[in-house]
Homo-oligomer: A and B are copies of this chain.
Amino acid sequence: MRRTTSDIRRANRLDVLRRIYAAGSASRQDIARRSELSFATIANVVNDLLGAGVIVEDHFVGSGSGRPRAVLTPNGVRGLLVGVDVAETYVHAELFDLALRRLHAGEHPIGPETRRPAEIAERIARAIDALLAEHGAARERVLGVGVSVPGQVAPQLGVSVFAPGWDWHDVPMLALLQERIGLPLYLDNPLMAGTVAELWSGAGREAGNLVCVTVGTGVGAGVVIGGSLYRGTTDAAGEWGHSVLVYGGRACRCGSRGCVEAYVGAPGIMETLRELDPGSELLCGGDQTACVQALADSPDAGPVITRTAGLLGAALAGLVNIINPETVVLSSWVARSLGPRLLPELRESVAAHALDRAMGAVHIVLSDIPGNAVSLGAATFALEGFLDAVISPGRRT
């Protein structure tokens, strides 16, 4: 529950800053028009942000009758942020300025033999070292590092609670990294990082209630309520991919049957293709990346697209009915490849399965974040953490 004065100040600060980042630049008056905050509150928050050097008064514009208005922009030169997307097959590290502009990126493969927490921590540390060295950036200029690791994460504890691909249970990842990296660190998972990226830099820039649906090998949903990420009682919210869509249907890797993920994650789409046409060349010998790309490109993919859009739309309708969001954004690599072909039939299927009132309120869109949204989101967590440290370093009151 967000109840203390410092909680509310923090929420207001993120709200104001998010609007400046979203628009690229904005006057105090622009912010007041778009938010529910009073002008006085906005002016106070802006003073804090200016004081911390996070934003600057870029120039002034005339305002008709009144005084010229200051145009506020993120202060890119204030320092650097690092975002790291760790998956079972790679470490992808990116360097950003404080305006969240991407400066440099590097990707390093991880072999299947590398899975011990200390080894992974070492790979992450080396990827960050390489990133800074290649860009010629001094370590002292880095204000924070956000790291996303796969699976379930308890961010407050800095613990990877469960990473099925590596069979990790309760790994104190933040402590392992801290030892090696020595910079302010923030740990989370790709679902939350991708959702925060949409909130600051993507389709959620104007939304209060947002659902960010990840469609990749796995499927999940990040939920934003009133402009804040919703994490659930034990940081386990958002496992929408394991809602039952076909009771008693396909076996899912989670141990249950008929889950959304078993139909619309990449392996599920391949199984649909196998059902429709067992000998299809589009299966690409079982290579899921190649198969999804082939489906995106081929004129013969119609039946798989239709079937997948129907299933995914029915599943999304359930989310729309329960959460009644302003925006549903589809992200991750399957959505990026197949999204343009899926979207028309997908919207029809959602409309056929959702109730009118919720359907009328929602926009269903594909993510337009270029490049890796997870590393951007991880860097955004580092930005949020830097703000907390620099503006209100005290305890809760």
Which A residues fall within an 8 A CB radius of B?
A: 1-5, 8, 11-12, 15, 36-38, 41, 152, 161-162, 208-209, 221, 223, 225-227, 230-240, 242-247, 249, 254-258, 310-311, 314-315, 317-319, 321-326, 352-355, 357-358, 360-362, 397
Judging by beta carbons under 8 Å apart, are A355 and B239 in contact? Answer: yes
A162 to B8, CA, bound (A): 35
Q: Which residues of B contact A258 (CB under 8 A)?
A: 314
Judging by beta carbons under 8 Å apart, are B37 and A326 in contact? Answer: no
A234 to B2, CA, bound (A): 22
User: When A and B form their complex, which 9 residue pairs have the shortest distance between CB atoms, in order from nearest?
Assistant: A232-B324, A243-B318, A239-B321, A237-B324, A236-B357, A1-B226, A244-B314, A234-B361, A236-B324
A38 to B395, CA, bound (A): 12
Known A-B contacts A3-B37, A226-B1, A314-B244; A357 and B152 likewise in contact (beta carbons under 8 Å): yes
Known A-B contacts A3-B8, A12-B3, A355-B242; A322 and B221 likewise in contact (beta carbons under 8 Å): yes
Judging by beta carbons under 8 Å apart, are B246 and A352 in contact? Answer: no
A325 to B236, CA, bound (A): 9
What is the distance, in angstroms, from A382's C-beta to the closest C-beta of chain B? 24
Q: Which residues of B contact A38 (CB under 8 A)?
A: 4, 397
> 17 more A-B contacts (CB under 8 A) besides A3-B11, A234-B324?
A3-B15, A161-B357, A231-B324, A232-B323, A232-B325, A233-B362, A234-B358, A234-B361, A236-B361, A237-B322, A238-B324, A239-B324, A242-B354, A244-B318, A244-B353, A258-B314, A322-B322
Judging by beta carbons under 8 Å apart, are B315 and A244 in contact? Answer: yes
Provide a sorted-by-A list of 16 A–B residue pairs whose CB atoms are within 8 angstroms.
A1-B208, A2-B2, A3-B11, A4-B36, A4-B37, A5-B8, A161-B357, A162-B357, A234-B357, A234-B360, A235-B324, A236-B357, A239-B355, A240-B318, A242-B353, A242-B355
Known A-B contacts A244-B315, A357-B236; A226 and B322 likewise in contact (beta carbons under 8 Å): no
Most-contacted residue by chain B among A161, A162, A226 (CB, 10 A): A226
Chain B residue nearest to A326 in the complex (CB): B233
Q: Which of B226, B247, B254 contacts A314 (CB 8 A)?
A: B247
A8 to B11, CA, bound (A): 12
Q: Which residues of B contact A357 (CB under 8 A)?
A: 152, 161-162, 234, 236
Judging by beta carbons under 8 Å apart, are A254 and B355 in contact? Answer: yes
Judging by beta carbons under 8 Å apart, are A233 and B209 in contact? Answer: yes
Chain B residue nearest to A237 in the complex (CB): B324
Q: Which residues of B contact A354 (CB under 8 A)?
A: 242, 256
A256 to B245, CA, bound (A): 14
Q: Which residues of B contact A257 (CB under 8 A)?
A: 353
A162 to B357, CA, bound (A): 9
A224 to B235, CA, bound (A): 16
